[in-house]
A and B are shown apart, each in its own frame.
Chain A
Amino acid sequence: MTGTHPLILAGSAAETTRLVAYWLLAILSVAAAVGMVLARRAVHCAMLLAVIMLSLAVFYAMLGAPFLAFVQIIVYTGAVLMLFLFVLMIVGISAADSIIETIRGQRMWAALAGIAMLVLLCLVVGHAVIGSAAPNSAKFSNGNVTTLANLIFTRYLYPFEITSALLITAAVGAMVLAHRERTTPKPTQRELAARRIASGRPTPLPGPGTYAQHNAADMPALLPDGSQSELSVSPVLSGRSGETPRELPGATAIPVAPPETAGSVAGPASAGGQEAGEQ
């Protein structure tokens, strides 16, 4: 095939390459889509959606739309999916769907509706005459961006202008919706200090434990009597569902140092002083 985009191999192997790429990515994207519907955790859904969008970008490149392929990667996988992940962080990353059906037979009816829709679309597409691709020209390879720009700024100028109004409205709307109205006056420094003294704990919370082999935010610190301080680990980490709290190796084995052994591990000055006292 002559005149293909430089990204795609030219020559006799091009068709085979396209066929292999198509079937690989088609199977991958359909599997990812099915997994997205079935995955219980929203984060897994977002990751599978990224797979689908990246394979769609490759399909756009194969179909002679290099500009749209890059826009797909930049806008969808770059911006939209990052937005999804940020909102997932706010809403709760471990939030999983419940398996209980609130509407009786919802899944069965949804599956039936899906099958009906698939049959309907297959009938429509099957009856339509889908011809072969038009002969290749420059606007599907190197001249793609310039031809698109010509179209956008001549024939589609008004939709393009209306798009800018839509984007501004969306940005303002998102700001208005995400804005939280302050219902109470902002606490002053004096009120914060008084609240802290009144809370019974004027000092900051203890930091996580730092040990020779473990140094992480989920390692509890040891109190002077050898017990673990629950306050030193963030409740977000300790309250994570599906995870057992990390056991500190040897934490229970660390004995409360009795007074006579304390002298032997203490510094030489105190040890000497104790010896002197015994003598």
Chain B
Amino acid sequence: MVSPAHFIALSVILFVIGAVGVLVRRNAIVVFMCVELMLNAANLAFVTFARMHGALDGQVIAFFVMVVAAAEVVVGLAILTAIFRARRSASVDDANLMKY
């Protein structure tokens, strides 16, 4: 019997792996992918809670999360291409223009 607890545990594991990836990786595109992984893990928790409570509100929220994630990826990757065009690098270490 697959209970909601199974899915919540999986969602926790995926979220933590995504967070570690954000901390460890330095290629900005890969950092973005790890953020996507964290959003997906949160979505899985939302859908699981919707199933648990027998209401569809969690699925609606997951749907909105997907929309926001898509918008975020579009803007983030546009910023990334602009930075790459100016600096010829996609590493987050090199983008310190606003540091001083």
Kindly list chain B residues whose C-beta atoms are within 8 Å of the C-beta of A236: none
Chain A count of residues within 8 A CB distance of the other chain = 84
Inter-subunit contact B66/A75 (CB<8 Å) = yes
- Residues 1 to 47 of chain B near chain A (Cβ within 8 Å): 1-10, 12-21, 23-27, 29-30, 32-34, 36-37, 40, 43-44, 47
Inter-subunit contact B81/A91 (CB<8 Å) = yes
Query: Which of A26, A29, A53, A60 meets B47, CB within 8 Å?
Result: A60
Chain A 48-82, CB-CB to B under 8 Å as 1, else 0, gives 01001100100110111101100110011001100
Inter-subunit contact B10/A92 (CB<8 Å) = no
Inter-subunit contact A45/B33 (CB<8 Å) = yes
Inter-subunit contact A118/B34 (CB<8 Å) = no
Inter-subunit contact A87/B60 (CB<8 Å) = no
- For the complex, give the distance between the alpha carbons of A90 and B24 in Å: 23
Inter-subunit contact A177/B67 (CB<8 Å) = no
Kindly list chain A residues whose C-beta atoms are within 8 Å of the C-beta of B29: 42, 45, 84, 87-88, 91
Instruction: Considering the complex, give the chain B residue whose CB is closest to the CB of A92.
Output: B90
Is A18 on the interface with B (CB-CB < 8 A)? Answer: yes
Chain B 44-57, CB-CB to A under 8 Å as 1, else 0, gives 10011011111011
- For the complex, give the distance between the alpha carbons of A148 and B55 in Å: 10
Kindly list chain A residues whose C-beta atoms are within 8 Å of the C-beta of B47: 59-60, 63, 65, 68
- For the complex, give the distance between the alpha carbons of A111 and B22 in Å: 11
- Residues 214 to 268 of chain A near chain B (Cβ within 8 Å): none
Stretch in A162-170, A205-213, A271-279 touching the partner: A162-170
Kindly list chain A residues whose C-beta atoms are within 8 Å of the C-beta of B95: none
- Shortest beta-carbon distance from B89 to chain A in Å: 9
Question: In the complex where A121-B16, A148-B63 touch, is A84 in contact with B73 (Cβ < 8 A)?
Answer: yes
How many pairs of residues, A versus B, come closer than 8 Å at their CB atoms? Answer: 223
Instruction: Considering the complex, give the chain B residue whose CB is closest to the CB of A39.
Output: B30
Question: In the complex where A36-B34, A76-B40, A171-B74 touch, is A139 in contact with B25 (Cβ < 8 A)?
Answer: no
Inter-subunit contact A52/B40 (CB<8 Å) = yes
Report the contact-size class of chain B (Cβ under 8 Å from the partner). Answer: 35 or more
Query: Which of B44, B66, B85 meets A59, CB within 8 Å?
Result: B44
Residues of A near any B CB (own CB < 8 A): 15, 18-19, 22, 26, 29-30, 33-34, 36-37, 42, 45-46, 49, 52-53, 56, 59-60, 62-65, 67-68, 71-72, 75-76, 79-80, 83-84, 87-88, 90-92, 95, 97-98, 102, 106-107, 109-111, 113-114, 117-118, 121-122, 125, 130-135, 137, 139-140, 144, 147-148, 151-152, 155-156, 159, 163, 166-167, 169-171, 173-175, 177-178, 180
Residues of B near any A CB (own CB < 8 A): 1-10, 12-21, 23-27, 29-30, 32-34, 36-37, 40, 43-44, 47-48, 50-54, 56-57, 59-60, 62-64, 66-75, 77-82, 84-85, 90-91, 93
Can you list 30 residue pairs at the A/B interface with Cβ under 8 Å?
A15-B2, A22-B6, A26-B10, A30-B14, A34-B17, A36-B37, A45-B33, A49-B33, A49-B36, A63-B47, A63-B48, A65-B47, A68-B43, A75-B66, A76-B66, A79-B70, A83-B77, A84-B32, A87-B81, A91-B81, A91-B84, A92-B90, A102-B93, A110-B23, A114-B19, A114-B23, A133-B3, A147-B56, A163-B68, A173-B78
